[in-house]
């Protein structure tokens, strides 16, 4: 080996292909990944305050010491040159190069063959697991961590083998870089990569002492182990110290704020056979082509030299199967199972397989396997097989890369500038904001503005119990966490002043109703289509916010250490790197001695690869057949119904129409008309949760079914049964159309006069505080009655409140409960059991529920199907006996539509039925009834509400049905109104001044009599939400 | 006794010793204020001079309403000169000073008076709207200040002027404790009161207060219909007279009026309207069967209307029902209205199926072109003999012993 080595053209090819392919596509993919923008946000934090770990922008403040900083700090550093995104892309490029070279070095170490390693590098550069991690998940720190670890492995080998201190320092320097870029990688990497490597070193050292591998007995092995023991221990302890000290603040922070959150469901923990989408993303894609050569990988890794790698990859493979088998949960324990995302095990297993994939490719393309196949099956077979594998490999690349295109994980890219401008305007950033339906782009918004949000995108750092007790990643996408997420969101919407939350940017119409009924109002639509919602009566953030400070040494260590590790690693490795890449010196690492000469490909392995591949392909084919059968919409009535509702759910009306009986003569135009006229909670704001079809009659050509559907709406869970009839025509099942509402309004064109309002805001353009005379007086409200009541096991404050001013008012009511010793027990706001907008002299009944933070006790089991309308009543230690009520009015000029009429009423058998009529000019999207109950003395006893599922078009009527509640306990605890305040002033004084001659219980003789054990009278008030104001 | 004597002697000795020492140490350093002026106007340059004490450079401690500070002297041949900084000399205040000589604290004070020239008139008026009637009031607060932002001395005259409709009124109030104020009571009439103030020839800017109408008083209502048939389709319009407050002001636009309608069966329906120019209009759809409505409107807690009653005439006199296809196809119609025209689409028809007295199922549909049809599916109504009731427009028809198969 005296002559200078040639450059490894395979590695150069791998780098060229890898950087060209991944580097070019990263510009189109990484911003749409799950994680990249989060890393960008962290990078922005470091770029702005390098040494201050406390970040105020997310949650109610969190520490960035909760994630290893190297990648974020690197992006931050590069951002000084060309902005944050420049930093992101630069680091992505570095990660790509590190990964390809890392695989090369790892493969060279494992196979001791430069060509095989070259093959491995080329295949790795485009391997589906790498593409997925980079282009779909955007896990840069994870890639950097594993890449640097792979670079460290040969150095570790050399240290253990040769005992030269140079290698000791180089391997430790690389491990320190791994640690500062990703915390989980070195810990598990230690177990799954370094332990087997140590085993391999001992094997190799043992081999050198005897003549053949066969002679390496356990005794020899043990002897060698004790010989190398000192080096192993030295390495072990030093790397332990490095893992602990390099990111010491991280460990301190983890100990101080242990993750005590309810686990967030992750696809990698699913049963992949049940949830096939998770199986695809977390098993099939990362394994990809490797799946076919699994027998080869296991065969090779279970050979004596690699024995420990064999054990390691077995464990990794099994752990990577998530919830498919019960083994991972038993091995990891429940806690670790629920905190870790198990896809990383599959990633590591696939990376560990890469050297052998390279080796296999080498042997298949130009080695002994080629010879074997050609001799046995002929050259044609070998070529066909090669073509098949190449096509499969290309298919996996294209499939993985297009996954983000066909199933985008993110909403459409949102232009952030209008939002950033809005937040900078008029001191809007003095309040917290919340985004809805932004996906991970919320992190990008946060990176661009200094305004604070109550939400965040790094769920391990959540601190508010409202968030940590629920399995929701973000409030932002709470609808995807079902009703549980919406329940959490509702608490924030109901008591926004607790969090100084004033603005909501909504990119998803789904949330509109809940925003409205929690008392929010639309401000305006920004030019990027984002709707801004605003809540009145929220105080601005105080100028000093609380933070958990840490010692200065921690801040300095955190700020300096990561970059230092990189510099040290660079300095220590640069010489070798130059030698190696420029081939200035002949290099011969001692691991290259253990070359396999690849002379005879095992027949047994070849057969098992073939058999195994057939099994895998049969499984895939069967899976596809099942998938096809489930999704062919007209093969059975079940499929037809399922497909029909699926189409309706996703508003694919043309597809839905195709399932309607062609003999019914409803053309697509007519069908669209019939569907589009129905607006309302169910047709516009519901997401189907479950569908069950029950056939009550069925023969060969017709079927009648009751379709039990469950829908999640932002307001409540809706269960609705539909009766559907189906017919079979020419072997295909069709649905018969439903009847349409024949209600015909009397007027073609009609007019209405309305009073509308406009608030100038600042009449002068000034950056100063608003002029005194431009501030509107708060409208005066009067609390007419207020009571603390107990019904069943809930406490509530109920009452009636009137706007006694001359301008329309937005009403916020906050109630507080006290015990006999005046100790505060609970405080909450009125949510949706009231009309939030009152015209002058208008009255509304209200009810304040005292909601606890749901499931704060660990013992409480989280109900599988939580109803957003339900709430967790707060647990009170003592009996509340008094209450305080604070009502605040603010002038509001929006959502003042009142033209909803109770046009028909009937009460029988404790059910109220009737008709609502829309007499005005707007289409009512969601009508709401606020129902008050009185006792025989006409004293208010209870207030309830009901959403009507269907909307009401102009001059149309809509029937409703409402069952009267039958509480078991109904008692008034306190009617004492001494502690009622309006706009901070005592209610009684206001009453005496504004309406001194009030006629008490004025319209009570218009109460509707009722027969009920508790209630003798009922009052119906009408409220409504207009989804699309004209 | 001896002891007592000793004590007296001892104390005498001590007393003498003390007095002797004090006599010697308290050798007074004579320093005196040379400046005679005691009053300055804000903005004047103020220099206090003191007679010089050799080898000393005492600091002068001064305290004004604005703050306190220590001044170093400028030492001339004969005197110490202390220049009071403009921060203090610009603020009208009483300034106390103390010369910081170790053994001799000389103290004194002087006064800085505001410049008797108003530069700006700061005024506040609040609340910005009040109720008409004379009980409610708002307060105008005026702070005349000089060019150095000093408020004028107490009892400076401030003229407060106001205008309402065509009346002008001027009151003179005196400043007291820095500011002057005037309570402005509301007028009987609603409108806007404009105010202005003047002090020493300088005028403030305009401030205004809205006088809003007081609580409404009882009013009258009436109803407007295109016809009085109960066709379940046309819309009846109810309207109020111009609602006014007790002082003949039209109530503010948007005032919410609820109309309660009690029907024949004793159910209370409701609709509402917001006033425009005092008149509120509310709409409701006609019932679809003969009705007698009693309507009364309320502004809750404040005012109510008279009660009016209206009647709706039955339009559908009768209808026919046909049973076909094993009695499973029920066709109803033609349903005709008051001129024998087909009833407008959308009349609700209810079909109830009874097995003897027990309700088996209820179906609802609406008419189209004067007809309506029900298809009774096997699933909903199993084969049996039933009593079938059809109800529309308040008419109830029962068909007994219909066998479905």
- Binary contact (B256, A838; C-beta < 8 A): yes
Distant-in-sequence contacts of A611-619, Cβ < 8 A, 24+ apart = A612/A292, A612/A294, A612/A295, A613/A292, A616/A291, A616/A292
Candidate CATH numbers 2.60.40.10, 2.40.240.10, 1.10.10.10, 2.40.10.10; the one for domain B321-404: 2.60.40.10
Of the candidates B124, B254, B283, which has its C-beta nearest A772's C-beta?
B124
Q: What local confidence, expressed as pLDDT, does residue A856 receive?
A: 38
Low-confidence ranges of chain A (pLDDT < 70): 1-6, 259-262, 469-472, 481-484, 580-588, 631, 676-678, 741-742, 852-874
Give span(s): CATH 2.60.40.10, chain B.
39-113, 120-212, 221-313, 321-404
- Binary contact (B284, A773; C-beta < 8 A): no
Sign of CA dihedral A700, A702, A705, A710: positive
Q: Is B178 in contact with B121 (CB distance < 8 Å)?
A: no
Q: Can you give the residue ranges of every domain in chain A?
A: 9-32+67-409+553-600, 417-534, 632-735, 777-1025
- Whole-number Å distance between alpha carbons of A675 and A648: 9
B139 lies within 8 A of chain A by CB: no
Q: What's the token pair of residue A477?
A: 């996408």
What are the Cα distances from residue A834, in Å, to A518, A846, B23? Answer: 9, 5, 86
- Whole-number Å distance between alpha carbons of B386 and A40: 72
pLDDT one-digit tens code per residue, A622-681: 888 887 777 677 778 888 888 888 888 877 888 888 888 888 778 888 888 777 666 788
- Whole-number Å distance between alpha carbons of B338 and B290: 12
Residue A747: list chain B partners with CB under 8 A.
235
Q: What are phi and psi of A181, to 5 degrees?
A: -95, -30
Q: What's the token pair of residue A566?
A: 């990189």
Query: Nearest Cα to A400, choosing from A590, A132, A145, A729?
Result: A132
- Binary contact (A901, B258; C-beta < 8 A): no
- Whole-number Å distance between alpha carbons of A789 and A796: 5
Question: Is pLDDT at B1 greater than 60 in this prediction?
Answer: no
Q: What is the CATH number of domain B39-113?
A: 2.60.40.10
Structure ipTM = 0.82
Q: What's the token pair of residue A831?
A: 């949510």
What are the Cα distances from residue A5, in Å, to A581, B47, B263? Answer: 10, 93, 103
Q: Is B298 in contact with A1003 (CB distance < 8 Å)?
A: yes
pLDDT one-digit tens code per residue, A382-403: 899 899 999 999 999 998 888 8
Q: What's the token pair of residue A899?
A: 């033209």
Q: Average pLDDT for residues B317-325, to the nearest whole number?
A: 85
Q: Is A53 in contact with A558 (CB distance < 8 Å)?
A: yes
A326, exposed or middle or buried, with CB in 10 Å at 0-12, 13-18, 19+? Answer: exposed
- Binary contact (B283, A704; C-beta < 8 A): no
- Whole-number Å distance between alpha carbons of B375 and A224: 90
- Whole-number Å distance between alpha carbons of B63 and B138: 38
What are the Cα distances from residue A622, in Å, to A270, A322, A396? Answer: 21, 22, 19
Residue B365: list chain A partners with CB under 8 A.
739, 742
- Binary contact (A776, B365; C-beta < 8 A): no
Q: What is the CATH number of domain B120-212?
A: 2.60.40.10
Taking CA–CA distances from B265, the nearest residue in chain A reads: A906
- Whole-number Å distance between alpha carbons of A804 and B234: 34
Q: Is A162 in contact with A201 (CB distance < 8 Å)?
A: no
B346 lies within 8 A of chain A by CB: yes
Strand order, beta sheet including A940-947: A940-947, A926-934, A1017-1025, A1008-1009
Pairs of residues, one from chain A and one from chain B, whose beta carbons lie less than 8 Å apart: 163
- Binary contact (B346, A1007; C-beta < 8 A): no
Q: What local confidence, expressed as pLDDT, does residue A162 receive?
A: 86
Tell me whether strands B74-75 and B67-71 are parallel, antiparallel or unpaired: unpaired
Element (H, E) at B126: strand B120-126
Calculate how close chain B gets to A899, using CA atoms only, in Å.
7
Candidate CATH numbers 2.30.110.10, 2.40.30.10, 2.60.40.10, 3.50.50.60; the one for domain B221-313: 2.60.40.10
Q: Average pLDDT for residues B34-62, to the nearest whole number?
A: 88
- Whole-number Å distance between alpha carbons of A957 and A963: 20
How many angstroms separate the most distant Cα atoms in chain A?
A: 112
Residue B253: list chain A partners with CB under 8 A.
755
Residue B287: list chain A partners with CB under 8 A.
904
| Other residues' Cβ atoms within 10 Å of the Cβ of residue B16 | 10
B124 lies within 8 A of chain A by CB: yes
- Binary contact (A1006, B268; C-beta < 8 A): yes
Query: Nearest Cα to A704, choosing from A736, A730, A732?
Result: A736
Q: What's the token pair of residue A362?
A: 């080498």
Helices (H) and strands (E) in chain A, counts: 31, 27
B252 lies within 8 A of chain A by CB: yes
Torsion of CA B210, B213, B215, B219, to 10 degrees: -160
Residue B186: list chain A partners with CB under 8 A.
none
What are the Cα distances from residue B87, in Å, to A829, B6, B45, B117? Answer: 50, 62, 11, 20
B368 lies within 8 A of chain A by CB: yes
Q: Is A955 in contact with A747 (CB distance < 8 Å)?
A: yes
Residue B267: list chain A partners with CB under 8 A.
905-907, 1008
Q: How confident is the model at residue B82 (pLDDT cuts 50, 70, 90)?
A: very high
Kindly state which CATH superfamily the domain A632-735 is placed in.
Answer: NTF2-like; domain 1 (3.10.450.100)
Q: Is B297 in contact with B304 (CB distance < 8 Å)?
A: yes
Nearest-5° angle of CA A275, CA A279, CA A285? 155
B281 lies within 8 A of chain A by CB: yes
Torsion of CA A575, A578, A583, A584, to 10 degrees: -60
Q: How confident is the model at residue B205 (pLDDT cuts 50, 70, 90)?
A: confident
Q: Is A949 in contact with A935 (CB distance < 8 Å)?
A: no
Alpha helices in A662-806 (DSSP H): 668-676, 681-684
- Binary contact (B367, A839; C-beta < 8 A): no
Q: What local confidence, expressed as pLDDT, does residue A584 receive?
A: 57
Q: Is A447 in contact with A41 (CB distance < 8 Å)?
A: yes
Taking CA–CA distances from A1018, the nearest residue in chain B reads: B268
Q: What local confidence, expressed as pLDDT, does residue A861 receive?
A: 40
Calculate how close chain B gets to A723, using CA atoms only, in Å.
10
**DSSP conformation class of B142:** E
- Binary contact (B345, A742; C-beta < 8 A): yes
Query: Nearest Cα to B84, choosing from B61, B101, B107?
Result: B61
Of the candidates A704, A784, A993, which has its C-beta nearest B377's C-beta?
A704
Q: Say what angle helices A294-301 and A307-319 make with each other, to 10 degrees.
A: 140
Q: What local confidence, expressed as pLDDT, does residue B9 receive?
A: 63
Q: What local confidence, expressed as pLDDT, does residue B26 receive?
A: 45
- Binary contact (B301, A802; C-beta < 8 A): yes
- Binary contact (A955, B304; C-beta < 8 A): no
- Binary contact (B267, A1008; C-beta < 8 A): yes
Q: Is A876 in contact with A795 (CB distance < 8 Å)?
A: yes
- Binary contact (A776, B213; C-beta < 8 A): no
Element (H, E) at A332: helix A327-339
**DSSP conformation class of A194:** I
Calculate how close chain B gets to A511, using CA atoms only, in Å.
29
What are the Cα distances from residue B323, in Å, to B326, B347, B365? Answer: 8, 20, 16
């Amino acid at each position: 080996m005296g002559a200078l080595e040639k450059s490894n053209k395979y590695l150069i090819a791998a780098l060229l292909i890898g950087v060209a392919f991944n580097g070019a596509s990263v510009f189109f993919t990484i911003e749409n990944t799950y994680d990249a923008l989060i890393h960008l946000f962290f990078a922005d934090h470091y770029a702005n305050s390098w040494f201050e770990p406390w970040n105020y922008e997310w949650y109610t403040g969190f520490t960035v010491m909760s994630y290893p900083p190297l990648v974020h700090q690197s992006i931050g550093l590069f951002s000084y040159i060309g902005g944050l995104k420049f930093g992101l892309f630069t680091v992505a490029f570095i990660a790509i190069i590190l990964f390809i070279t890392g695989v090369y070095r790892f493969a060279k170490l494992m196979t001791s063959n430069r060509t095989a390693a070259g093959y491995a590098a080329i295949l790795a550069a485009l391997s589906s697991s790498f593409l997925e991690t980079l282009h779909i998940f955007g896990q840069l720190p994870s890639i950097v961590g594993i890449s640097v670890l792979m670079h460290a492995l040969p150095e570790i080998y050399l240290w253990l083998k040769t005992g030269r201190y140079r290698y000791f320092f180089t391997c430790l320097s690389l491990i320190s870089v791994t640690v500062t870029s990703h915390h989980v990688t070195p810990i598990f990497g230690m177990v799954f990569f370094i332990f087997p490597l140590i085993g391999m070193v001992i094997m190799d050292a043992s081999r050198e002492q005897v003549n053949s591998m066969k002679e390496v007995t356990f005794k020899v092995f043990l002897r060698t182990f004790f010989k190398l023991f000192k080096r192993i221990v030295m390495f072990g302890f030093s790397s332990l110290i490095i893992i602990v000290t390099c990111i010491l603040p991280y460990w301190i922070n983890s100990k101080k704020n242990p993750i005590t959150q309810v686990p967030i469901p992750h696809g990698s923990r699913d049963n992949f056979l049940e949830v096939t989408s998770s199986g695809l993303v977390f098993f099939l894609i990362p394994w990809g082509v490797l799946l076919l050569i699994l027998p080869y990988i296991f065969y090779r890794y279970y050979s004596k030299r690699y024995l420990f790698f064999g054990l390691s990859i077995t464990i990794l493979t099994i752990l990577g199967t998530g919830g498919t088998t019960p083994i991972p949960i038993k091995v990891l324990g429940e806690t670790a199972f629920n905190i870790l995302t198990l896809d990383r095990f599959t990633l590591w297993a696939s990376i560990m397989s890469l050297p052998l994939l390279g080796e296999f490719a080498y042997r298949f393309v130009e080695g002994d396997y080629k010879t074997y196949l050609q001799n046995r099956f002929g050259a044609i077979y070998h070529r066909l097989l090669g073509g098949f594998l190449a096509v499969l490999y290309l298919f996996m690349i294209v499939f993985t890369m297009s996954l983000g295109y066909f199933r985008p994980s993110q909403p459409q890219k949102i232009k952030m500038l209008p939002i950033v401008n809005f937040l900078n305007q008029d001191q809007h950033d003095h309040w917290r904001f919340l985004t809805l339906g932004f996906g991970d782009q919320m992190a990008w918004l946060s990176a661009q503005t200094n305004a604070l949000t109550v939400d965040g995108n790094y769920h391990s750092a959540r601190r508010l119990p409202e968030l940590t007790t629920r399995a929701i990643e973000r409030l932002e996408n709470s609808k995807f966490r079902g009703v549980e997420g919406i329940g959490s969101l509702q608490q924030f919407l109901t008591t926004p002043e607790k969090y100084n939350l004033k603005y909501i940017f909504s990119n998803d119409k789904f949330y509109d109703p809940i925003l409205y009924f929690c008392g929010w109002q639309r401000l305006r639509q920004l030019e990027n289509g984002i709707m801004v919602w605003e809540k009145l009566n929220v105080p601005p953030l105080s100028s000093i916010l609380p933070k958990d400070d840490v010692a200065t040494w921690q801040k300095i260590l955190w700020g300096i250490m990561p970059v230092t590790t990189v510099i040290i690693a660079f300095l220590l490795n640069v010489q070798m790197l130059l030698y190696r890449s420029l081939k200035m010196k002949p290099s011969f690492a001692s691991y290259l001695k253990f070359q396999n000469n690849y002379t005879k490909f095992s027949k047994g392995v070849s057969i098992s690869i073939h058999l195994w591949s057939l099994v895998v392909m049969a499984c895939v084919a069967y899976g596809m057949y099942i998938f096809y059968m489930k999704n062919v919409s007209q093969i059975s009535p079940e499929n037809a119904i399922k497909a029909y509702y699926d189409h309706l759910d996703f508003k694919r009306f043309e597809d839905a129409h195709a399932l309607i009986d062609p003999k019914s003569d409803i053309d697509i135009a007519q069908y669209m008309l019939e569907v589009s006229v129905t607006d309302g909670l169910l047709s516009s704001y519901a997401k189907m949760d479950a569908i069950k079809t029950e056939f009550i009659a069925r023969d060969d050509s017709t079927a009648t079914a009751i379709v039990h559907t469950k829908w999640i709406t932002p307001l409540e869970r809706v269960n609705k049964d539909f009766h559907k009839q189906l017919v079979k025509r020419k072997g295909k099942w069709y649905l018969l159309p439903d009847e349409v509402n024949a209600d015909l309004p009397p007027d073609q064109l009609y007019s209405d006069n309305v009073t509308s309002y406009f608030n100038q805001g600042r009449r002068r353009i000034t950056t100063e505080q608003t002029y005194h005379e431009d501030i509107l007086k708060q409208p005066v409200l009067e609390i007419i009655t207020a009571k603390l009541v107990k019904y069943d096991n809930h406490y509530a404050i109920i009452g009636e409140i009137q706007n006694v001013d001359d301008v329309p008012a937005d009403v916020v009511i906050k109630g507080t409960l006290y015990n006999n010793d005046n100790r505060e027990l609970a405080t909450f706001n009125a949510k949706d059991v009231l009309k939030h907008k009152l015209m002058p002299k208008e009255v509304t009944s209200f009810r304040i529920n005292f909601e606890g933070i749901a499931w704060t006790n660990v013992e409480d089991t989280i109900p599988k199907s939580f109803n957003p309308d339900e709430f967790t009543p707060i647990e009170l230690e003592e009996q509340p006996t008094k209450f305080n009520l604070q009502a605040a009015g603010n002038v509001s000029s929006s959502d003042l539509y009142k033209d909803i009429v109770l046009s028909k009423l009937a009460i029988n058998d404790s059910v109220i039925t009737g008709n609502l009529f829309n007499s005005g000019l707007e289409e009512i999207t969601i009508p709401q009834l606020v129902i008050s109950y009185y006792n025989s003395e006409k004293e208010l006893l209870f207030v309830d509400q009901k959403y009507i599922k269907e909307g009401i078009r102009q001059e149309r009527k809509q029937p409703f049905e409402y069952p009267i509640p039958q509480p078991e306990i109904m008692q008034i605890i306190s009617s004492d109104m001494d502690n009622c305040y309006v706009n901070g002033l005592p209610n009684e004084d206001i009453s005496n001044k504004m309406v001194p001659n009030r006629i008490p219980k004025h319209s009570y003789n218009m109460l509707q009599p009722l027969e009920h054990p508790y209630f003798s009278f009922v009052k119906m008030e009408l409220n409504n939400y207009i989804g699309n104001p004209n | 006794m001896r002891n007592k004597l000793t004590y007296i002697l001892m104390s005498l000795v001590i007393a003498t010793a003390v007095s002797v020492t004090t006599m010697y140490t308290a050798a007074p350093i004579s320093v005196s204020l040379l400046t005679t002026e005691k009053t300055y106007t804000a903005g004047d340059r103020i220099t206090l001079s003191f007679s010089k004490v050799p080898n000393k450079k005492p600091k002068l401690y001064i305290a004004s309403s604005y703050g306190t500070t220590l001044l170093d002297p400028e030492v001339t041949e004969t005197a110490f000169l202390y220049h009071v900084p403009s921060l203090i000399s610009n603020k009208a205040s009483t300034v106390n000073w103390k010369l910081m000589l170790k053994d001799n604290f000389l103290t004194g004070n002087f006064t800085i008076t505001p410049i008797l020239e108003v530069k700006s008139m700061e005024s506040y008026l609040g609340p910005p709207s009040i109720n008409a009637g004379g009980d409610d009031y708002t307060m105008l607060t005026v702070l005349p200040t000089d060019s150095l932002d000093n408020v004028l001395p107490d009892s400076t005259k401030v003229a407060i002027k106001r205008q309402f409709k065509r009346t002008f009124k001027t009151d003179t109030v005196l400043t007291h404790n820095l500011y002057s104020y005037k309570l402005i009571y509301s007028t009987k009439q609603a409108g806007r009161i404009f105010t202005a103030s003047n002090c020493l020839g300088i005028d403030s800017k305009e401030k205004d207060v809205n006088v809003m109408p007081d609580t409404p008083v009882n009013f009258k209502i009436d109803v407007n219909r295109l016809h009085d048939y109960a066709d379940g389709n046309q819309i009846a319009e109810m309207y109020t007279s111009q609602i006014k407050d007790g002082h003949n002001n039209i109530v503010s636009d948007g005032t919410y009026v609820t109309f309660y309608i009690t029907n024949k069966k004793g159910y209370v329906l409701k609709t509402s309207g917001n006033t425009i120019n005092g008149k509120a209009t509310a709409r409701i759809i006609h019932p679809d069967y003969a009705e007698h409505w009693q309507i009364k409107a309320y502004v809750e807690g404040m005012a109510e209307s008279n009660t009016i009653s209206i009647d709706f005439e039955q339009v559908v006199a009768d209808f026919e029902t046909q049973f076909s296809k094993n009695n499973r196809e029920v066709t109803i119609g033609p349903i005709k209205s008051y001129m024998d025209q087909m009833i407008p689409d959308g009349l609700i028809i209810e079909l109830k199926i009874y097995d003897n007295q027990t309700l088996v199922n209820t179906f609802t549909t609406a008419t189209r072109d004067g007809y309506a049809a029900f298809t009774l599916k096997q699933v909903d109504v199993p084969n049996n003999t039933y009593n079938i009731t059809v109800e529309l427009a308040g008419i109830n028809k029962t068909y007994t012993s219909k066998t479905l198969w």
